[in-house]
Structure 1
Amino acid sequence: MSEAPPERQNGPGPQAVLRLPDGQSLRATVSHRLQEADGSWWYDVEITLWNVVIDRSGIRTAEPYPITVRVAAGNVSPIDGQDYRTVPTTRSHLAVKRSRSGGRRMGPTAHR
């Protein structure tokens, strides 16, 4: 399955297909991307699930409940027509140094 069926837009931001551990796919809102020091990319995505809500009289109902999770980039696929240029991006300073040096490590570490 290459694209999840149309769903309600979760939050502001572009939609992407999120692959779940059991192989299912669903749409998620991309809220942030992060490159770690080791060069790996991660995405914060929001999905909306059902959650129980108990009102003042004790009656339980199910209501939409947005949650944000961080997933490896390999589990997130772009959707044609979505604009990802506005997604906030954070890169580890070590990953930036490594990319500027052609992937080489930048000498010994002076502190840890």
Structure 2
Amino acid sequence: MDDEDDLADVSPPPPPPQADVTLPNGQHLQAAVTRRRRDRSGVWWYDLEIELPDRVDDHRHGPALTSRKVTFCAPHPVVQRIEGEDYSSLDLPPPEERKRWRLSPPPPEDSWADAYLHRPDCAQAASEGGMVTDQEALKALAGPDITVPCPVCRPDHVLQHKR
């Protein structure tokens, strides 16, 4: 019963914010914004997604209506914000709050360490474990548990400048 209550409390993520896109022929459409970022000159670029109707052919039943998602990228002013839409979910957290390191259990052949610290893209990192911030990684390395920096990706080399 408790498991069902826990599942009932899980709500789907909010839909992505919408933006107004001006097409090359002057038409306007609304598209879901999946990401935004500034280029070196300060222009905002938006990654967008729209769902379009499409046809699928079935040899037994003939053509049927389906849909497909199309992703594209466009800059401001081609993409305009829509008043009332919340774009804050697209913004990265401040650098000190970003989870940039993977703290994972040690490999089975290593029985003396409690955990290994990896860069997130390290091939040696186990898929289980969690992501941690710079400060949490430094605490893990200095803490009472034996946390070993990965000898392959060497996160300690980057973290030594964060102390």
Task: Specify if TM > 0.5.
Answer: yes
User: TM-score category by the smaller chain?
Assistant: 0.5 to 0.7
> 2:70 corresponds to which letter in structure 1?
I
Residue from 20, 23, 45 that aligns with 2:26: 23
Greater share of strand: 1
Aligned to 2:39: 36
Residue from 77, 82, 86 that aligns with 2:85: 82
Give the share of equivalent positions with the same residue, in percent: 35
Aligned to 1:65: 68
1:86 aligned counterpart, secondary structure: helix
Normalising by structure 1, what TM-score? 0.61
Greater Rg by CA: 2
Runs of 4+ in 1 over 3 A off after TM superposition: none
Where does 1:36-55 land on structure 2 (aligned, <5 Å)? 36-55=39-58
Q: RCO greater where, 1 or 2, for CA within 8 Å and sep 6 or more?
A: 1
Between Structure 1 and Structure 2, how many residues are aligned? 79
- CA distance in structure 2 between the partners assigned to 1:52 and 1:77 by the alignment: 31
Normalising by structure 2, what TM-score? 0.43
1:58–1:38 distance in 2 versus 1, CA, 3 Å: farther
Gap regions ≥5 residues in structure 2 = 1-13, 93-163
Deviations 1:16-56 (A, max 9, x none): 11110000001110100122234332100111112221235
Gap regions ≥5 residues in structure 1 = 1-10, 90-112
Greater share of helix: 2
